A = this chain, B = another copy of it.
Amino acid sequence: MTNAQPRYVYLGPEGTFTEAALRRVPGTEGADCEPVGSVITALAQVRSGDADFAVVPIENSVEGGVTATLDDIASDDNLQIMREILVPISFVLVAPSPRELDQIRTLATHTHAWAQVRNWAAAHLPQAEFIPANSTAGAARGLLEPATQYDAAVCAPLVASQTGLTVLASAIEDTPGAVTRFVLVSRPGPVPAPTGSDKTTVVVPLPDDHPGALMDILDQFSTRGINLSRIESRPTGTGLGSYFFSIDFEGHVAEERVKAALAALYRMIPGIRFLGSYPRADQLKYTVPAHTRDAAYRAGQEWVNAIINR
């Protein structure tokens, strides 16, 4: 799909942290942005061309979808991460009208949000039963329905303001300072230019019955002075002991040491998938050892070539 105006989809419903992430992407103001029901649907629309971009959570989300994102994005070569977006996470407790906390018997939210307010809830709502919901925004909006079967919801501040629900408590997250990481995904295309503060994401299947192979994988990074910033295992779904690793590392595929590391990994594990090189959201600069900078790589190759061309 190539139309004048790109179309964005995101993990809905409206008012979640994912929508907040989308709004931070330059060029989305006034753009065609639509919430969809699941990460899988969002990514499928990009794959099929129904959408140009999807915004989905990839790390530490309160809305779920993280493992769905890791798994689905890793399942073929038809998607590419173009950008990462960090969104601070804070929760409020809402109800249709003002009430005392000890009147709340049932409380709905997404399981992941629940995990992040559990201690607060145990302290302030010891009597309340948790009702799982498909999203924090859905839980909040459900309170407005006549047939609602719970008393309160935990959601993002944005939804509270959009719906007019009463905020009974705010900043109730157990761990202040939490952040969720989202990614902007498109079909494969030109990799964003290196900025000097980039990240690359790959997916590396671990050979069955050989978890020790992980060391060989990691060695390809360390021997080239490349730092990892995230490494997560995911089951492939084909049996016990079958995993792939989702890895973020510092650097850009246009940099020589990254090219060398990726080529080395490909030689060992041809099933490796490149999911994107893109600017770090935090713009932190990383330090590369002198002997693994591009100039050093070029000097080394020139030296060898001079020998071969004697």
Contacts and interface: CB of A to CB of B under 8 A. Distances in A.
Contacts of A10: none
A284 to B, nearest CB: 10
Nearest to A177: B239
A267 B297 CA distance: 7
Interface of A: 59-60, 86, 115-116, 175, 177-181, 188-191, 211-212, 214-215, 218-223, 227-233, 235, 237-241, 243, 253-254, 259-260, 262-268, 270, 274, 291-292, 296-297, 299-301, 303-304, 307-308, 310
Nearest to A259: B304
A266 B299 contact: yes
25 contacts: A59-B240, A60-B235, A60-B240, A175-B237, A178-B239, A180-B240, A181-B240, A191-B307, A211-B227, A211-B231, A212-B218, A212-B222, A214-B231, A215-B215, A220-B223, A230-B240, A232-B243, A259-B301, A259-B308, A262-B304, A265-B300, A267-B292, A267-B296, A267-B299, A274-B307
A192 to B, nearest CB: 11
Given A297-B263, A299-B267, A116 B291 contact: no
Contacts of A59: 235, 240
B232 A191 contact: no
Given A179-B240, A214-B231, A267-B297, 20 more contacts: A59-B235, A181-B240, A189-B310, A211-B227, A211-B229, A212-B222, A212-B227, A212-B228, A215-B218, A215-B219, A223-B264, A229-B241, A230-B240, A231-B233, A232-B243, A262-B300, A263-B301, A263-B303, A266-B303, A267-B291
A259 B238 CA distance: 33
B304 A266 contact: yes
A259 to B, nearest CB: 5
B304 A263 contact: yes
A243 to B, nearest CB: 7
B214 A218 contact: yes
A60 to B, nearest CB: 5
The oligomer's copy count stands at 4
Given A175-B237, A241-B230, A300 B222 contact: no
Contacts of A86: 240
Contact of A268 (B115, B222, B262, B291): B291
A219 B191 CA distance: 32
Contacts of A274: 307
A222 B215 contact: yes
A178 B297 CA distance: 36
Nearest to A59: B240
